[in-house]
Amino acid sequence: MHSRSIRQLSAVVLFVGLLLAGAAAAFAQTDPLPSWNDGAVKTSITDFVVRVTTEGGADFVAPEARIATFDNDGTLWSEQPLYFQFQFALDRIKALAPDHPEWKDTEPFKSALAGDVKGLVAAGDKGVVEILEVTHAGMTTDEFSKTVAGWLATARHPRFDRPYDQLVYQPQIELLDYLRANGFKTFIVSGGGVEFMRAFAERAYGIPPEQVVGSSGVVKFEMDADGKPKLVKEPKVEFVDDGPGKPVGINRFIGRRPIFAFGNSDGDQQMLEWTAAGDGARFMGIVHHTDAEREWAYDRSSHIGKLDKALDEGTTKGWTIVDMKSDWKVVYPPAQ
C-alpha cells in the first residue's frame, strides 16, 4: 500500500469519523423540551410520542396519521387583556378614523377610539361584528395580509411592551418542534381568523399557511378592469372555527382525525373530545393559565378563554392539564 493510498484511506477514515460523530450528536439524549419542568405533565407528552413512534409497538402510528392540532389564542400565544386579533382591529379603527369623521359619535367606534372597554362591552356582539367588518373586509386578501404584517412589526403589547408575536409560549414552540422531529404534521385549529394567523404562523411556529385552520369570512374572486384577478374580503362571516366548529373545521380542512390535540378553553372541548374518540393512542392537552405573575391566571369565570366544562372533563378523563406556573420553566422566549 503506497503512501497515496494511505493518504486516501486516512481521508476516508476522517470522513467516516465525522459522519459517526454527527450521528452520535443527533442521537445524544438531549432534552427536547428544555422549557418544561420535569414531572407528570412532561412525561405524559414524551411517553405518548415514544409510544406512537416505536415501530412494532402496540401503539405505533404511521407517520402520515400523526396529526397534531393546536388551538392558538391562549394555547400557543397569550390572549389577554384582549384577543390580539381584536386589539389589531381596535388599532385599525384608530388608523382608519381620519377617513371616518362620523365614528366620533357612533358606537361601537366611539368607544373603540376612546379605548372605552365598558362602552365596547355595551355594544355587544353586534358591536364586535361591526368592528370586525370594517377592519377585516373591503380589501383584497393580499392587502389584508400586508396590513397584519405591518401591525405586528409596529404594535406593542401594553403589559409587556413587546411585539405581539413575541408573546408566544416557548414551551409550546419546543413541543411543536419535538412533534415535527417525530414525524408529526402540526396544525393550528383556532377560532381566530385564518388570514390573520397565516400572517405570522410560519415565522412564529413553523406552521405553514396550508396547515392553519381558522374562522373565515366570505371571499370573492373578481377581475380588475385591466384583467388582473383579485380576491376581495367581504363583510360576511363564512365559518366560525370554535367549539363544535373545530371538529367540523378539522374534517373540512384536514380530513383526518388528530391523534394529538392541545387547547386551553371550553372552545376547545369538542376538538379534544373528537380527538379522544378515535381508535388507538391519543393525547389531549389543556393549558391552564395559573400564572398571574409571568402571564395571567384565569379559568372558569374569564370572559376570554373561559375554561370550565373542558377543565372538568379533562380532569375526569385524565387528559393532560398543564399548570402553567409549575410546569413551564419559562413562558415567553427571550426578548429579541
User: Of the candidates 163, 189, 160, which has an alpha carbon nearest to the alpha carbon of residue 88?
Assistant: 163
CA-atom Rg of the chain in angstroms: 24
Q: Which residue has the cell 503512501?
A: 3
Q: Does 279 bind a copy of itself (CB under 8 A)?
A: no
User: For residues 194-214, b (16+ Cβ closer than 10 Å) or e, as one string?
Assistant: bbbbbbbbeebbebeeebbbb
Q: Does 268 bind a copy of itself (CB under 8 A)?
A: no
* Least distance between a copy of itself and beta carbon 210 (Å): 5
Q: Does 263 bind a copy of itself (CB under 8 A)?
A: no
Kindly list the distances between the CA atom of residue 69 and the CA atoms of 140, 283, 331, in Å, as whole numbers in the listed order. 28, 10, 20
Q: Please identify which residue in 50, 121, 231, 330 interacts with a copy of itself, judged by CB under 8 A.
A: 231
* Least distance between a copy of itself and beta carbon 227 (Å): 9
- Per-residue binding string, a copy of itself, 57-96, x by CB under 8 A, is -------x--x-----------------------------
Q: Does 177 bind a copy of itself (CB under 8 A)?
A: no
CB 205 within 8 A of CB 76: yes
Parallel, antiparallel or unpaired: strands 67-70 and 185-193: parallel
Parallel, antiparallel or unpaired: strands 283-290 and 297-298: antiparallel
Distance CA(243)–CA(191), nearest Å, equals: 8
Q: Does 13 bind a copy of itself (CB under 8 A)?
A: yes
Q: Does 3 bind a copy of itself (CB under 8 A)?
A: no
Question: Applying CB under 8 A, which part among 24-32, 47-55, 161-169, 269-277 lies near a copy of itself?
Answer: 269-277
User: Of the candidates 40, 73, 123, which has an alpha carbon nearest to the alpha carbon of residue 318?
Assistant: 40
Q: Does 20 bind a copy of itself (CB under 8 A)?
A: no
Q: Does 251 bind a copy of itself (CB under 8 A)?
A: yes
Q: Does 212 bind a copy of itself (CB under 8 A)?
A: yes
Q: Does 316 bind a copy of itself (CB under 8 A)?
A: no
- Per-residue binding string, a copy of itself, 21-60, x by CB under 8 A, is ----------------------------------------
Parallel, antiparallel or unpaired: strands 229-239 and 320-323: unpaired
User: Of the candidates 238, 195, 207, which has an alpha carbon nearest to the alpha carbon of residue 70?
Assistant: 207
Q: Please identify which residue in 37, 46, 141, 182 interacts with a copy of itself, judged by CB under 8 A.
A: 141
CB 327 within 8 A of CB 284: no
What residues make contact with a copy of itself under the rule CB under 8 A?
1, 6, 9, 12-13, 15-16, 64, 67, 141, 185, 187, 194-195, 198, 202, 208-212, 216, 219-221, 223, 228-229, 231, 244-245, 247-248, 251-256, 270, 273-274, 277
